[in-house]
């Protein structure tokens, strides 16, 4: 249950990507998909504002990127502009994730209270490395394959990568937290 709750923001953020990819695959029209992506991004932002949900810097960046790059794609009839959105986003995220303490606010107290800070910092750097790798791979894929194939890659590769790294870190952190708590309980009863 905790894993699903932790993944909810990621799944919510994937909605616009799923719609974009679905439209591109069903219609073959990247310009239509871009237009709907822009509308959906604006709609999601307005819904967050209306419902009182905080809108983080990443959501604003994503909205600006999809709006500017999507409109540029539509106006110039060049799909590569919208295909660059993930690269710019991954570079920005990777840069933020190079901060030592970026991960701490996202971890529950049971983790931060029971794990070495150095382990948490290394885990954060693993996320930064993943973001930079995804940025480079997106460039390669965007300029070497069709827009349809790229759209599947742009949805699948980051999603699979995020889930794999998240699950690995979740299981690793969980194991180490349990071991530390058990060791502390054993020491207290001895």
Identify the pLDDT of residue 135.
Answer: 97
109 vs 119: CA distance, rounded Å: 15
Residues of the chain with pLDDT under 70: 1-14, 190
State how far the Cα of 138 lies from the Cα of 150, in Å rounded to an integer: 8
Tell me how far apart the alpha carbons of residues 36 and 15 are, in angstroms, rounded to a whole number: 12
What's the pLDDT tens digit per position in 35-64?
999 999 899 889 889 988 888 787 888 889
Residue 15: what pLDDT?
77
CA angle centred on 163, ends 119 and 23, rounded to 5°:
145
Cβ contacts of 123 within 8 Å, gap of 6 or more: 103, 169, 173
Joined tokens for residue 122: 């290394």
- For residue 92, the SS3 value is helix
Q: How far apart are CA 15 and CA 9, in angstroms?
A: 10
Euclidean distance between CA atoms 35 and 110, whole angstroms: 44
CA distance 152 to 83: 12
CB neighbour list of residue 150: distance below 8 Å, 6 or more residues apart: 83, 141, 142
* Contact between residue 98 and residue 132 where contact means Cβ atoms under 8 Å apart: no
pLDDT at 99: 93
Provide the residue ranges of all domains of the chain, joining segments of one domain with +. 2-189
Q: Is the dihedral of CA 145, 148, 151, 153 positive or negative?
A: negative
């Amino acid at each position: 249950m905790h894993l699903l709750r932790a993944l909810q923001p990621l799944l919510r953020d994937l909605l616009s990507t799923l719609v974009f990819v679905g439209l591109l695959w069903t219609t073959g029209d990247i310009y239509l998909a871009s237009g709907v992506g822009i509308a959906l991004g604006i709609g999601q932002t307005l819904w967050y504002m209306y419902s009182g949900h905080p809108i983080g810097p990443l959501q604003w960046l994503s909205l600006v990127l999809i709006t500017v790059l999507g409109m540029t794609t539509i106006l110039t009839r060049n799909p590569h502009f919208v295909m660059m959105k993930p690269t710019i986003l991954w570079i920005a995220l990777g840069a933020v994730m190079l901060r030592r303490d970026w991960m701490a606010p996202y971890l529950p107290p049971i983790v931060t209270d029971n794990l070495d800070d150095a382990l948490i910092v290394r885990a954060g750097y693993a996320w930064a490395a993943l973001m930079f790798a995804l940025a480079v791979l997106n460039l390669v894929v965007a300029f070497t394959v069709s827009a349809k194939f790229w759209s599947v890659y742009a949805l699948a590769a980051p999603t699979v990568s995020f889930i794999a790294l998240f699950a690995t870190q979740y299981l690793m952190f969980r194991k180490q937290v349990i071991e530390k708590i058990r060791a502390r309980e054993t020491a207290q009863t001895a």
